[in-house]
Amino acid sequence: MNENNNNNNNDNNDKKRGFMGIAVFIMIALFFAAFLSRNMFTARESEMTYNDLLEKIEKTDPEQIKSVKIDPASNKITLTVKNETRGTTEYVTGIVGDMESLKQDLLSRGISVEGAVIEEESIFSLLLVYMVPSVLIMLFFFFMLRRSSGGGGGIFGVGKNNAKVYMQKETGVTFADVAGQDEAQDSLVEIVDFLHNPGKYTRIGAKLPKGALLVGPPGTGKTLLAKAVAGEAKVPFFSLAGSDFVEMFVGVGASRVRDLFKNAQEKAPCIIFIDEIDAIGKSRDTRFGGNDEREQTLNALLAEMDGFDSSKGVFILAATNRPEVLDPALCRPGRLDRRIIVDKPDLKGRLAVLNVHAKDVRMDETVDLNEIAMATAGAVGSDLANMINEAAILAAKNGRGAVSQADLFESVEVVIAGKEKKDRVMNEKEKKMVAYHEVGHALAAALQKNTEPIQKITIVPRTMGSLGYVMQTPEEEKFLMTKAEMDDELVTLLSGRAAEELYFDSISTGASNDIEKATKLARNMITRYGMSEEFGLMALENIEDMYLTGRTSLNCADKTAAEVDIAVREKLKTAYEGAKKLIGENREAMNRIAEFLLQKETITGKEFMRILNEVKGTETPEEAAEETSDGK
């Protein structure tokens, strides 16, 4: 505790020095401005010698001389001459000898002579002009310093924490509202139980963890989980974002941290939730940049987390998408003791999320949420909620009273690829090239063993830039990919470009996204998965940003990096040759399916497989019966 008090005293001393420095700077600026206003912004006159001035008076008509001003205080004589074109002109010289003879001469010629009254500035006027503004500014910083250091918030609320306190009746969120994160819920149930029954754990010597860090991609439900913990525990819920502590004033962030913990201990047991904690918890080394105010706020947070008594039931929940940038001192045991991963849901989790969001939406008998869950691999909770909402909007727009399966699949496409662009009309050549491109992808997927089945093929443009696409739906949830599956995926990705080259003797820009995905997959196979003969099991790349961009960085010599580029190029070249061979051997199927797609613009996976099986002579009796029934 003494160490914490010393840290607090040091923070206060640093803050006082900062405020005093600002005040002194403003005082100096005020004195400098006053000096400039009194001495530098006066009018400039034409200067001359005393003899020249006398000669000017002699040669000038007395009627044109407006006045002669003799000012002993400033030791100068000012001659003001009227001019018809330029108004008046002032000539200035210094006082030389006795001025009585000059005065008498001027008066005898009828020229007006003026004198200056010498007034001494009073002490009151000096205080009024110079000292009063400085004292007011000093008082402003003094009161702001006292209020912020004492936790009162300072003038205009500076230094006061902006936490929003939610009681259980206001959050209205429980674990029943959270789905697809069973492991994260299990970890948080213990916290809720401890807040409800602390004696159950303290009797055997267990201590409540001081905090937990929720880590995962955006949209997985980290904030929702934190509110659910507060709702289940029925305790006050302090909710802030990391940016709420960051201010332009020095020391204000640290003051807000102290104020927050003081209020939390008064309302214990309670939960403090800090969203996007990386805004203040970023590592203090130079790798991620430095900021004195942010580091001072982080130091105050670390000191408060060490200082408060966990037996009172104050629990800290924090969330971030970037755990790799957090300061190690923040994540050590005794502070944010637990790291709870809130990852993308699996098939079971996606189905549970869809059921939660669909319970208040009218669904017809065609709806099968399990199919939607299968088709949305990689989607997070916010994506799934958006899909349900888009389907409801689509059904209402079309005048239906309930959501159908077709609405749900259309909403999946809207979230993934955007809405249909009905105003974009492609010419026949472009449309045909897009059709062959997409059928090339579909053929490669259908004719290889380690690929996913085709759900849909379309050449209808979408708002996110695609002119067409092939939707594949996995038959089961997978968590690993074999080398054979990746090799087949490379062939599938490059089959669209292969179809363009074989059928049009030309290539287009439509394969840019395919090439980007294929290059990334081939590079990962070589640098991360150890699937190349050249480099064996060497890990040549590291992931720097796992949950946001997935950005990687090479961890090898420049010569090795050049060799990696060559290996990636060779792997893509091999896959492309395989794609051209596969497409070239199935020209008849390609032509039949492409013509059908050009007529329909969108075909299902069943229609695609039926034509393919007809051409290859492998049509099943069930497909033949279905075709006969459709013909009738």
Catalytic residues: 438
SS3 273: strand
Q: Do 267 and 234 form a contact (C-beta atoms < 8 A)?
A: no
> How far does CA 76 lie from the centroid of its chain?
67
SS3 321: coil
From residue 466, how far is each of 416, 444, 471, 503, 517 by CA, in Å? 11, 20, 13, 21, 14
Residue with token string 């579909």: 442
Neighbours of 581 (CB within 10 A): 12
Strand 65-71, strand 76-83: pairing = antiparallel
Neighbours of 152 (CB within 10 A): 15
Q: Which two tokens stand for residue 334?
A: 């005794």
Q: Please give the backbone phi and psi of residue 386, each rounded to the nearest 5 degrees, phi first.
A: -65, -40
Strand 454-458, strand 469-472: pairing = antiparallel
Q: Using the Cα atoms of residue 360, residue 362, residue 365 and residue 369 in order, give the sign of their dihedral.
A: negative
Residue type, 565: D
Which candidate, 564, 560, 563, 528, places its Cα nearest to that of 543? 528
Residue type, 207: K
Q: Which two tokens stand for residue 225?
A: 């989980």
Q: How many residues does the chain have?
A: 632
Cis amide linkage into residue 269, ω under 30° from 0: yes
State how far the Cα of 195 lies from the Cα of 187, in Å rounded to an integer. Answer: 14
Q: Do 158 and 247 form a contact (C-beta atoms < 8 A)?
A: yes
Q: CA 4, 5, 9: angle at the middle one, nearest 5?
A: 120
Strand 46-47, strand 87-94: pairing = parallel
Neighbours of 62 (CB within 10 A): 11
SS3 79: strand
Helix crossing, 252-266 with 2-39: angle to 10°? 140
SS3 594: helix
Neighbours of 210 (CB within 10 A): 18
State how far the Cα of 466 lies from the Cα of 344, in Å rounded to an integer. Answer: 25
SS3 561: helix
Which candidate, 223, 217, 216, 215, places its Cα nearest to that of 177? 223
DSSP assignment letter at 462:
B
SS3 75: coil
Task: Compute the chain's Rg from CA coordinates.
Answer: 40
